[in-house]
């Protein structure tokens, strides 16, 4: 299996959907919460302080501050604003509730788990931890000095984000691996921005030896390490690291469902995108992204004073948008696009692989049409004109929300350039980048009073045809919509 074979075989088409008669087996739905049973569980203090810095500033590279004066409060704050439960929904027919989190996830299935190494935090033992969002607590899987030698990282907090692909495959089958990668991109950006909001820097490492990291962290075999995120900064309450020997508790991973169904295509793409220890010596630089220009220069962006803490905990995916005539201003669109163009701090992100195409439905000062965003110059190039509502919804597998939004997006990934530089591993990096961009779209939309929804379901080749994209210009890897959200009767605070 190569990235190309996997990608081709997981494209949606009218025909592929007609052929696939997949019924969800609710009795076998995977548990959305992983536990490592039999290990000490440490409390993260409830109600950590809310980061007050405006999210607009954080999205534009400013660093905030924290009043957290000890390790547990600091960790609690970082996780409460990146991966915690933030709301619930009630199924109207049964009354059952389910949880929603700060980080979004396709189908709300949450394949991503947050693990972290802590070294030298005050009042918090050095060791390896697994975050349990259901209780906002941390399972202590190992105690002692566990410096992440595999990546050469000596940061005081090092996250290892893992994917449990079965959680996603239960619903989305072979295409699920794509969504696992998107979700990692969202979780990475949720962590990176929360770290910035409380006065830290972060750096993501995608280029690491998979099996060695999995072994080092003693992950259960269904959890795959996908991204390492180092967090450092003067605001972290620190002491000298422990010198004591490592004590392993490990823990027994809970079984997520009665039966785990094998998806050979997912195992195949995962193995194809793995790196061995030998392959990890230095990451090569990718060719730079092509540059271009458009006839519309975006105006200075609209601003917002909404605090990071408030926006992050309020963020939700819109069920649909109110169509009608209410529009978005060009300065608001400018702010949303500017937030996607900021540097992403990762070993694979020095050259960017994603370009945004916009289906503009209702933006003041822009004719309805299709536009290409040239992020370096802050310009839009019109490549198609006329009403795009039916096309945007149709291309998004007939989902009305892409037509009722003010603006919808096709995000085009340069998979060829990424894999020329990084081999099959580049397939992951394109999806991490697009997930990170998606996360920035969610937060910038929310801060301006809009709603947003990530859209993983689209007719791949139809999008390429509609946008007149030659294969060497990239392939669609994510859709997105932003507009005025309808209220969601299932939502509870
Ligand atoms: C990668 C990805 C793909 C998604 N695809 C769709 C989609 O095709 N249609 C849709 O209505 N929502 C989609 N969503 C939104 C999720 O359903 C939503 O994030 C999830 O239900 C959790 O809700 P929340 O975002 O409010 O926390 C997607 C989200 C992500 C992160």
Convert the pLDDT of each residue in 322-346 to its tens digit.
Answer: 999 999 999 999 999 999 999 999 9
Write down how long the chain is.
493
Mean pLDDT is lowest, of 168-182, 453-467, 468-482, for 468-482
Residue appearing with tokens 């094998």: 262
Reply yes or no on whether the pLDDT at 243 is more than 90: no
Residue with CA at minimum distance from ligand 1 atom 29 = 106
- Cβ-based burial of 351 (10 A; exposed 0-12, middle 13-18, buried ≥19): middle
Q: How far is the CA of 456 from the centre of ligand 1 (A)?
A: 8
What predicted TM-score, i.e. pTM, was given to this entire model?
Answer: 0.98
Q: Which of 84, 11, 15 is nearest to 44 (CA)?
A: 84
Ligand 1, pocket-test mutation among 87, 89, 101, 107, most atoms within 8 A of CB = 107
Q: Which of 404, 406, 403, 381 is nearest to 468 (CA)?
A: 381
Enter the DSSP assignment of 10: T
| Neighbouring residues of 256: CB distance < 8 A, sequence distance ≥ 6 | 30, 31, 34, 164, 166, 167, 222
Is the CB of residue 332 less than 8 Å from the CB of residue 483?
Answer: no
pLDDT of residue 148: 67
Q: Count of alpha carbons within 13 Å of 267, Cβ hemisphere only?
A: 6
Q: Which residues line ligand 1 (CB under 6 A)?
A: 100-101, 104-108, 179, 182-183, 186, 316-317, 399, 453-457
Coil, strand, or helix at residue 373?
Answer: strand
Q: How far is the CA of 173 from the centre of ligand 1 (A)?
A: 16
Residue with CA at minimum distance from ligand 1 atom 20 = 108
pLDDT of residue 245: 87
Coil, strand, or helix at residue 138?
Answer: strand
- Alpha helices (H) along 293-405: 308-314, 330-340, 389-395, 401-404
* Average of per-residue pLDDT values in the chain: 96
Ligand 1, pocket-test mutation among 10, 83, 99, 105, most atoms within 8 A of CB = 105
Residue with CA at minimum distance from ligand 1 atom 6 = 455
Coil, strand, or helix at residue 453?
Answer: strand
């Amino acid at each position: 299996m190569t990235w190309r074979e996997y990608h081709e075989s997981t494209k949606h088409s009218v025909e592929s959907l007609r052929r696939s008669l997949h019924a969800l087996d609710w009795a076998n739905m995977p548990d959305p919460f992983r536990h490592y049973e039999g290990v000490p569980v440490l409390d993260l203090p409830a109600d950590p302080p809310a980061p007050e810095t405006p999210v607009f500033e954080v999205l534009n590279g400013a660093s905030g501050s924290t009043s957290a004066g000890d390790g547990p409060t600091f960790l609690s704050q970082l996780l409460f604003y990146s991966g915690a439960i933030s709301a619930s929904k009630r199924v109207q027919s049964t009354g059952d509730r389910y949880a929603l989190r700060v980080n979004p996830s396709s189908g709300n299935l949450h394949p991503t788990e947050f693990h972290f190494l802590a070294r030298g935090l005050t009042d918090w033992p050095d060791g390896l931890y697994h975050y349990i969002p259901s209780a906002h607590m941390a399972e202590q899987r190992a105690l002692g000095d566990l410096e992440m030698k595999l990546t050469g990282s000596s940061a005081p907090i090092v996250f290892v984000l893992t994917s449990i692909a079965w959680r996603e495959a239960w619903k989305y089958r072979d295409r699920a691996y794509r969504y696992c990668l998107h979700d990692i991109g969202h979780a990475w950006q949720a962590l990176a921005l929360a770290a910035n909001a409380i006065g830290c820097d972060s750096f993501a490492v995608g280029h690491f030896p998979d099996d060695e990291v999995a072994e080092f962290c003693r992950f259960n075999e269904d959890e795959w390490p996908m991204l390492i995120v180092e967090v450092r900064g003067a605001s972290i309450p620190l002491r000298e690291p422990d010198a004591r020997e490592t004590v392993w508790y490990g823990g027994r991973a809970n079984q997520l469902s009665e039966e785990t169904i094998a998806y050979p295509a997912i195992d195949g793409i995962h193995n194809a995108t793995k790196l061995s220890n030998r392959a990890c010596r230095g990451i090569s630089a990718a060719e730079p992204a092509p540059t271009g220009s458009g006839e519309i220069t975006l105006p200075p962006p609209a601003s917002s004073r909404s605090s990071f803490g408030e926006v992050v905990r309020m963020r939700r995916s819109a069920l649909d948008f109110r169509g009608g005539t209410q529009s978005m201003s060009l300065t608001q669109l400018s702010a949303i696009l500017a937030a996607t163009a900021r540097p992403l701090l990762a070993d694979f992100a020095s050259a960017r692989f994603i370009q945004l195409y916009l289906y503009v439905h209702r933006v003041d000062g822009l004719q309805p049409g299709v536009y290409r965003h040239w992020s370096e110059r802050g310009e839009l190039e019109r490549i198609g004109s006329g009403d795009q509502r039916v096309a945007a919804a149709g291309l998004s597998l007939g989902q009305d929300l892409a037509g009722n939004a003010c603006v919808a997006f096709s995000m085009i990934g340069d998979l060829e350039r990424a894999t020329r530089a990084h081999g099959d591993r580049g397939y992951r990096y394109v999806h991490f980048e697009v997930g990170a961009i998606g996360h920035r779209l969610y937060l910038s939309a929310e801060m301006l009073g809009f709603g947003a929804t990530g859209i993983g379901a689209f007719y791949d080749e139809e999008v390429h045809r509609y946008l007149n994209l030659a294969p060497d210009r990239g392939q669609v890897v994510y859709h997105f919509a932003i507009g005025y959200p309808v209220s969601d009767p299932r939502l509870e605070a």
